[in-house]
Amino acid sequence: MINPGGFPQHVGIIMDGNGRWAEARGDRRTQGHLAGLQAAKRVVKAAAGMGIRYLTLYVFSTENWKRTAEEVGFIMGLVKQYLRSELEFYRENSIWLRYAGDSAGLPPDIAAEIKSVCNETAGADGIQVILALNYGGRNEIVRAVKRAALAGEDCSAINEAAIARYLDNPDVPDPDLIIRSAGEWRTSNFLLWEGAYAEYYVSSVLWPDWTEAELALAIETYQKRKRKFGGVS
Ligand code: IPE
Ligand code: IPE
Ligand code: MG
């Protein structure tokens, strides 16, 4: 049972295991990404129903360009095809779609599509779903420092709050819980700055097999943690 107290406000998910899911079925890796998209819809809907305010989904990392052209092209194609066709789903669930990452490194048509769908859903009063696409934590910090310098920030006044103001979504609170599916215990460059005090949860379940039950289990586990933020409880 999920206890309503100590509920995470912001959850980040490293949606991993699409390739292994497909390979285990004798399918091509791309089929895993298609199934992963359906899992993402299930989990977004479940998170919205649970009252989670912010959900950051790691869709594609700044390192994922190392994959074959076929796989990268397929993932970008899925984004292009589904981002807009799911508008009805966002509306039904009052979803505000947002973006994190280096949009300048995306194919221009995809960057434009993201921008327009984010604008069209902006201000929806339900869950804010942040798509981390061509996202890397180190890349985000580098871009933040560059923006601070370009804005003429005084170098001697640079502190943590000043850097945080130039991150991709400065109004979004730090993630309370970061989930990784498919059993790997690493961050793979996800929310490095923001996740400094996030609780981590790793599930062995491959992403395409995720349902509301896996999300509920992650949250129940989170609720048993003692967060100390460096202090003593
Ligand atoms: C996550 O699944 C999706 C992306 C990184 C785009 P993977 O494609 O990494 O699946 P595995 O880790 O190879 O199983
Ligand atoms: C992290 O998964 C990126 C996403 C889920 C989008 P990867 O599969 O790319 O991570 P590594 O390569 O196992 O660290
Ligand atoms: Mg992987």
pLDDT tens for 4-13 read: 668 999 999 9
Using the mean position of ligand 1's atoms as its centre, give its distance from the Cα of residue 160 in Å: 32
Is the pLDDT score of 3 beyond 80? no
Ligand 2 centroid to residue 48 C-alpha, Å = 25
Which pLDDT score, from 0 to 100, does residue 2 have?
65
Which atom belonging to ligand 2 lies closest to the Cα atom of 186? 14
Which is it for strands 96-100 and 128-135: parallel, antiparallel or unpaired? parallel
Please, what is the average pLDDT of the chain? Answer: 97
- What positions carry a catalytic annotation? 16, 64
Q: What is the pTM of this model?
A: 0.98
Tokens of 72: 């990268």
Q: What is the pLDDT of residues 31-75, one digit of tens each?
A: 999 999 999 999 999 999 999 999 999 999 999 999 999 999 999
Contact 218, 8 (CB under 8 A): no
Q: Which residues contact 214 (CB under 8 A, 6 or more apart)?
A: 43, 181, 203, 205
Q: Are 44 and 55 in contact (CB under 8 A)?
A: yes
Residues with Cβ within 6 A of ligand 1?
Answer: 15-20, 60, 64, 75, 182
Paired tokens of 229: 């933020």
